[in-house]
Amino acid sequence: MKFKNLWGHFCTINIHKIRVMINCFRVGLIKQGLLHDLSKYSLEEFIPGVLYYQGTRSPNAAEREDKGFSRAWLHHKGRNKHHYEYWIDFTTDMSEGLVGHKMPLNYVIEMMMDRIAASKTYKGKDYTDASPWEYYMHAKNYMVIAPETRKLLEELLLILKNQGEKRTFSYIRYLLKKGEY
């Protein structure tokens, strides 16, 4: 392991976590902001993060390219409810196979904050409020996500893209106060 990779990965996950935390605080999700992505500090996620660190994208993508899957990602998504993949399961009708189940509102909001922070962290000075939407569009057709969750996520991403963070966070506070979507 190179010290440069260890330090770079450590700094990247800290910067990302702080960005999510600040944005969660801005909308009133204090506990989620504090607890966001703690599993990234576990050995199962941290060591591959260091080994596959590049600084410009998630190390999980590089691990996936190398091994055909990412053990760190499988660990991460199974422990963090703000990932839509956490909510994939069978229905009571086995003929439907695996489906995305509706995420609770607070986790959809944390997912939104995660996407903003990841885009800012990896795009740096090239970040715009359209960046999270553009990232979403790359994977949209492959996502197994509940229709209601997809609809809300797209709505929030488009408000961010077209009206900016201030308007998006105001709308999110309204949704959280209402308590549903």
Give the confidence band of 46 by pLDDT, cuts at 50, 70, 90. Answer: very high
pLDDT at 4: 85
Question: How confident is the model over 90-149, as pLDDT tens digits?
Answer: 998 989 899 999 999 999 999 999 999 999 999 999 999 999 999 999 999 999 999 999
Question: How confident is the model over 140-170, as pLDDT tens digits?
Answer: 999 999 999 999 999 999 999 999 999 999 9
- 97-133: b or e for each residue (b if 16 or more CB lie within 10 Å)? eeebbebebbbbbbbbbbbbbbbbbbeeeeeebebbb
CA–CA separation, 26 and 96 (whole Å): 39
Per the structure block, which two tokens stand in for 23? 């944005």
- Least Cα distance to 19 among 115, 127, 139, 134 occurs for 115
Residue 52 has pLDDT above 90, yes or no: yes
CA–CA separation, 178 and 181 (whole Å): 8
CA–CA separation, 53 and 121 (whole Å): 14
Residue 82 has pLDDT above 70, yes or no: yes
pLDDT at 169: 98
- Least Cα distance to 40 among 61, 19, 68, 10 occurs for 10
CA–CA separation, 171 and 109 (whole Å): 11
Give the confidence band of 31 by pLDDT, cuts at 50, 70, 90. Answer: very high
pLDDT at 3: 81
Name residue 89's beta-bridge partners.
99
Average confidence score pLDDT of the chain: 96
Give the confidence band of 1 by pLDDT, cuts at 50, 70, 90. Answer: low
CA–CA separation, 114 and 96 (whole Å): 30
The HSE-up count of residue 60 (CA atoms within 13 Å, CB side) is 13
CA–CA separation, 84 and 153 (whole Å): 10
Distances in Å between the Cα of 87 and the Cα atoms of 68, 102, 161 are 22, 7, 26
pLDDT at 145: 98
Give the confidence band of 2 by pLDDT, cuts at 50, 70, 90. Answer: confident
